[in-house]
Structure 1
């Protein structure tokens, strides 16, 4: 098994929806592109990633959304050393077709009160649904490590909630731990680094906005 030395998760640059949530009423979520600021964030992330990967090979997986495709293109990775695949299971949490801004804002308030993991948007997904498909992707990713020539780096270009849920699944976080953490900013990364003991650890934590309150389950 050729486990990669690092698995880097990158949140896309700022999108049109991040800058103005009224666009969801006119443009499908998956079709939203990057803003000028988002393109700059992607280029800056590319500079950091090219320095990190140096001349090593990279296996990249990109969410099928327009903003993640654009983010990947602006990274400027060497195509001769980068194997890239579109991966639908890394897409954003589905909120449901055309979105009424007032209704989405109301549902977001409900979600904050109910919990991001369990709350299901009326026509979309819950965080738990995203967790399940991220878990299915993780199983596929792990099988790819059976290739003895697997690149030493994996890059996932995805979305903030999906990043947190991927780490929750990989690192076996509780729901309470997940709920206590914030999404990374646009263009930010987190990396799972392989240690000498064969276990992966985060290079730096997600920002914590509250102290988790577990239900009392012990291990």
Structure 2
């Protein structure tokens, strides 16, 4: 991780601490090395406010398959943008719909953990831009069009969801619209 990335992770930790105050948090992180490094920066600020941390491969980054040449990713992105961000499956890789299915299965763990007697009042996901956007799509029941209209969050951008009085969650931190 670059020094800027480390600074961003610590900054995210400070922002999260200001949000949870004296509360505690349960963390779920992607097993990818860079994500674990990000979590370490966040955790260095949160310290004992983290009740537990679980790595979960279901919230890993989208699999891009086997790219043979640096230009391959540019061409894939161009083709995907013309077809559909959500449905386009890269050769030997995943579509957004595939990631959606993985994230949906991850919900089983969340729902089971939420029922635990000692589960803290806050949950932290340290994952990847597209995976997080698909998590939000699934959780908030967005359509494919709503998902595709939004950009991924920036590196270490903290997004906050809160439960309303009616028991439904609301995204407090807006995502930027795609141009």
**Residues 68-119 of structure 1: CA distance to partner in whole angstroms, max 9, x if unpaired?**
1000101122146431010110100001245521111111110111111001
Question: Is 1:88 matched with 2:57?
Answer: yes
Question: Is 1:73 matched with 2:37?
Answer: no
Runs of 4+ aligned residues of structure 1 deviating over 4 Å after TM superposition are none
Q: Secondary structure at the match of 2:145?
A: helix
Aligned-pair CA distance for 1:195: 1.3
More helix by share: 2
| Whole-angstrom distance in 1 between the partners of 2:68 and 2:30 | 21
Residues 1-219 of structure 1: pairs in structure 2 closer than 5 A: 34-75=1-42, 76=44, 77-79=46-48, 81-97=50-66, 99-209=68-178
Taking structure 2 as the reference length, the TM-score comes to 0.93
Retained in 1: the 8 A contact 2:25–2:49?
A: no
Taking structure 1 as the reference length, the TM-score comes to 0.77
Retained in 2: the 8 A contact 1:56–1:81?
A: no
| Count of aligned positions | 177
Structure with greater contact order relative to length (CA < 8 Å, sep ≥ 6)? 1
Please report the RMSD computed on the Cα atoms of aligned residues, expressed in angstroms: 1.4
| Greater mean alpha carbon deviation, residues 185-194 or residues 153-162 | 185-194
| Greater mean alpha carbon deviation, residues 80-89 or residues 61-70 | 80-89
Aligned-pair CA distance for 1:206: 1.1
Task: Structure 1 unaligned segments of length 5 or more: list them.
Answer: 1-33, 211-219
Retained in 2: the 8 A contact 1:62–1:84?
A: yes
Task: Structure 2 unaligned segments of length 5 or more: list them.
Answer: none
